[in-house]
């Protein structure tokens, strides 16, 4: 159990049989009446955002999330195959389950799968990945003065906005949290 006074961004709690992550919270002490905590919670399974108000000091159950390091091996059609790096056990996940995260997956990449009571509830990608540019318009000399950007399709199918000097075959560092280009590697 954890008090709502101890909320932190990223904390996982269990409520009504579901697991939620605290996205943001605010302690409110009105001039009249009792203090309360206004929070935005993200359902870990569905991704839905819920707003909930708790009394200050109210106790909620903390969700114990287990992280297991896995290696992404390959995908066969709609299934993505991961291997436990300790037991070498393989797990197959459906592409619908992965959502947009599949656009950051490269073979032999290490990441964490998140488990709650032996059920997989999500995956935790590294903060950055290095992906090769599969297709983009060629850059033109002198285009860099204006700043600007152009779309580039990466090897996994992800499309990002990149500076004009990026060419096909370049390897880029991409932020997995925002999907934005960071730098050329």
pLDDT (tens digit per residue) in 123-168: 888 889 999 999 988 866 555 556 678 899 999 889 999 988 888 9
pTM of this structure = 0.71
Rounded to an integer, what distance in angstroms lies between the CA atom of residue 157 and that of residue 131? 10
- pLDDT confidence band for 40 (50 / 70 / 90): very high
pLDDT given at position 139: 67
Rounded to an integer, what distance in angstroms lies between the CA atom of residue 8 and that of residue 22? 7
Q: What is the mean pLDDT of residues 12-31?
A: 90
pLDDT given at position 142: 56
Residues 99 and 120 reside in one and the same domain: yes
Backbone phi, then psi, for 39, in 5-degree steps? -135, 155
Domain boundary among 62, 82, 112: 62
Domain boundary among 14, 38, 62: 62
**Residue 139's CATH number:** 2.40.50.140
pLDDT given at position 144: 57
128-136/181-184 β-pairing: unpaired
Number of domains in the chain: 3
Q: Tens digits of per-residue pLDDT, 94-108?
A: 887 787 888 899 999
Q: Which runs of consecutive H residues, i.e. helices, occur in 32-89?
A: none
Residues 57 and 105 reside in one and the same domain: no
């Amino acid at each position: 159990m954890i008090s709502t006074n101890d909320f932190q961004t990223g904390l996982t709690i269990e409520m009504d049989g579901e697991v939620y992550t605290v996205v943001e919270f605010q302690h409110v002490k009105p001039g009249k009446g009792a203090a309360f905590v206004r929070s935005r919670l993200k359902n870990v399974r569905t991704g839905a955002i819920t707003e909930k108000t708790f009394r200050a000091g109210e106790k909620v159950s903390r969700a114990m999330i287990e992280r297991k390091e896995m290696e992404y091996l390959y995908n066969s059609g709609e299934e993505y195959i991961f291997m436990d790096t300790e037991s070498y056990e393989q797990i197959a996940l459906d592409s619908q389950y992965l959502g947009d995260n599949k656009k950051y997956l490269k073979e032999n990449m290490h990441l964490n799968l998140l488990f709650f009571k032996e059920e997989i509830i999500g995956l935790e990608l590294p903060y950055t990945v290095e992906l090769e540019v599969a297709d983009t318009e060629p850059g033109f000399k002198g285009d860099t003065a204006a700043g600007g950007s152009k779309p580039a399709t990466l090897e996994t199918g992800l499309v990002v906005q990149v500076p004009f000097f990026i060419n096909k075959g370049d390897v880029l560092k991409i932020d997995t949290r925002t999907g934005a280009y960071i730098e050329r590697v």
